[in-house]
Amino acid sequence: MKRLLTSIALLPSGLRAAAGEKHLKRRLLRLTKHSALLLVVLGVGGMLLAASGIIPIKASSRHWALTDWFLSFAMQRSVATHSLGIKTPSLHSLDDPSLVLKGAGHYESGCSPCHGSPQLRLPRVPAAMTPPPPYLPPKISHWEPEELFFIVKHGVKFTGMPAWPTRHRDDEVWAMVAFLRALPALDAAAYRKLVNGNLAPSLDVPQYGLPRREDVPEAVTESCGRCHGADGRGRGEGAFPRLAGQRPTYLYAALQAYARGARHSGMMEPVAARLSREEMRALAHYYGNLKEAAHAGSVPDDAAAIERGKAIARRGIPSKGIPSCIDCHGPSATPKNPHYPLLAGQYARYLVLQLELFEKQQRGGSAYAHLMRTTAHRLTQEQMYDVALYYAALPPTAGN
Ligand code: HEC
Ligand code: HEC
Ligand code: HEC
């Protein structure tokens, strides 16, 4: 050994460096070989362990405290990192009562069966999941709005927390975030009021032309009425479209489009997909025939905008290739194609939203939906608002 060291010391320094480098390379090679071997052994061992069937996958045994901590830590870090680029609407706009109402309607059918609500607390069956869906009110303050958006839009892998039913639009997910932010302050009564509104409206009042209670389809009292009202007026805030007096052919085609996934809405697609053709027909008929229902909601008192909107609706803007809306949507003395929706008396807010969705190519619909795409694309934001206000201000019975 001593002799070897002396001979190395006697070598010229270049040669010495080459020998050291070779040695290092050899060690690295050995290390790599050992690690690869270890990985193969671990892999084979893991497969054998899994094949033996002794790894428990029982939800009943819950996670170990350490697994629980690790999964929750990894989830929080992932949400924090992935939500970095998300642009949040102003907090002020997230406080909008119309957005909160829209989120509430869906929470009751899409989320409370797992997460419970101030009226129900935690339901028993999902509480036996691993991990169990948490009761949300005390959790909300731990998250920023963009983090809630990310969780609701994408769901959480390996936990049972589903993604939003459609990826084609984000506005509905923000409505859910708006509701979640309001949730911690709600007691059972406030929650019930927000979610259900007045589910049993004056159905017997004859001047609205409403049918007798026993003629109301079951789906209306069980589901649709919560958001659209049993009277079809859409609950006054513009969160949900008015259906009363709409053409039944259009309503039926819209339900079919949602059910097929040809019109995108995380709120309406699951509802429509559960209906049979006969139920769709009955519901379209029911809502379409609520003719006399009163005006849907209050319209901003902006006479100048309504006047500008009227000009667009009647004459279009020929220089920009925008056709007149009344040619298809009325009001006019001659009946139009029953696939074209009536817009008179509809909420301005809902009309603007649909025009924006058409413009962003996020609104599908029936086989006629393409007629709207180029039109919406050519309208400015202000023109959308003006023409929506014109239609919202018309009485719902304005004509064909
Ligand atoms: C099938 C059951 C299920 C449904 C339906 C469901 N969730 Fe969840 N959700 C879960 C589970 C399980 C978790 C726990 C995930 C975890 O532990 O990381 C969760 C977690 C969450 C969280 C994070 C809570 C926290 O602080 O850890 C939020 C927020 C949430 N869900 C919102 C919603 C909303 C809003 C809806 C409805 C659109 C919904 N969830 C529908 C099962 C569900
Ligand atoms: C959770 C709330 C909710 C429930 C419950 C609900 N809807 Fe809707 N509905 C909405 C929303 C929100 C929209 C607008 C969606 C969009 O932007 O496309 C809508 C749109 C519609 C439309 C299209 C209207 C138009 O002018 O294009 C029809 C038709 C409709 N719903 C019928 C029904 C029927 C029938 C039921 C019951 C079986 C029902 N909805 C249940 C929230 C709901
Ligand atoms: C050539 C016929 C045609 C013209 C012209 C037209 N539309 Fe439409 N519009 C349609 C059809 C068809 C639909 C329904 C698409 C579907 O859902 O199947 C529609 C849907 C809409 C909707 C959504 C309604 C709802 O209940 O969801 C709005 C809002 C709308 N149009 C506004 C306008 C405005 C504003 C103009 C004028 C600038 C206009 N349209 C011109 C055919 C037309």
pLDDT tens sequence for the chain (400 residues)? 455 445 545 555 555 566 678 888 888 889 889 989 999 999 999 899 899 998 889 999 899 999 999 999 999 999 999 999 999 998 889 999 999 999 999 999 999 999 999 998 889 999 999 999 999 999 999 999 999 999 999 999 999 999 999 999 999 999 999 999 999 999 999 999 999 876 554 455 444 556 677 778 999 988 999 999 888 989 888 999 999 999 999 999 999 999 999 999 999 999 999 999 999 999 999 999 987 655 656 788 899 999 999 999 999 999 999 999 999 999 988 878 999 999 999 999 999 999 999 999 999 999 999 999 889 999 999 999 999 999 999 988 777 7
Query: What residue's CA is closest to ligand 2, atom 26?
Result: 241
Report which ligand 2 atom has the smallest distance to the Cα of 239: 12
Contact 355, 376 (CB under 8 A): yes
Q: Which of 100, 195, 227, 249 to mutate to test the pocket of ligand 2 (most atoms within 8 A of CB)?
A: 227
Q: Give the whole-angstrom CA distance, residue 11 versus residue 22.
A: 15
244 Cβ inside 6 Å of ligand 3: no
Query: How many degrees, rounded to 5, is the angle at CA 348 between CA 260 and CA 255?
Result: 15
Q: Give the whole-angstrom CA distance, residue 255 versus residue 260.
A: 9
Contact 46, 114 (CB under 8 A): no
Separation of CA 363 and ligand 2 centre (Å): 14
Q: Give the whole-angstrom CA distance, residue 262 versus residue 254.
A: 9
Query: Which residue bears the tokens 């309406």?
Result: 268
341 Cβ inside 6 Å of ligand 2: yes
Report which ligand 2 atom has the smallest distance to the Cα of 106: 1
pLDDT of residue 14: 54
* Residue 396: closest CA among 250, 293, 311, 324: 293
- Return the exposure string of 326-355: e unless at least 16 CB atoms fall within 10 Å of the residue's CB, then b: bebbbbeeeebeebbbbbbbbbbbbbbbbb
Q: Which of 243, 312, 372, 373 to mutate to test the pocket of ligand 3 (most atoms within 8 A of CB)?
A: 372
364 Cβ inside 6 Å of ligand 3: no
Environment class of residue 164 by beta-carbon count within 10 Å: exposed (0-12), middle (13-18) or buried (19+)?
Answer: buried
241 Cβ inside 6 Å of ligand 2: yes
Separation of CA 316 and ligand 2 centre (Å): 29
Query: What residue's CA is closest to ligand 2, atom 41?
Result: 224
Report which ligand 1 atom has the smallest distance to the Cα of 159: 12
173 Cβ inside 6 Å of ligand 1: no
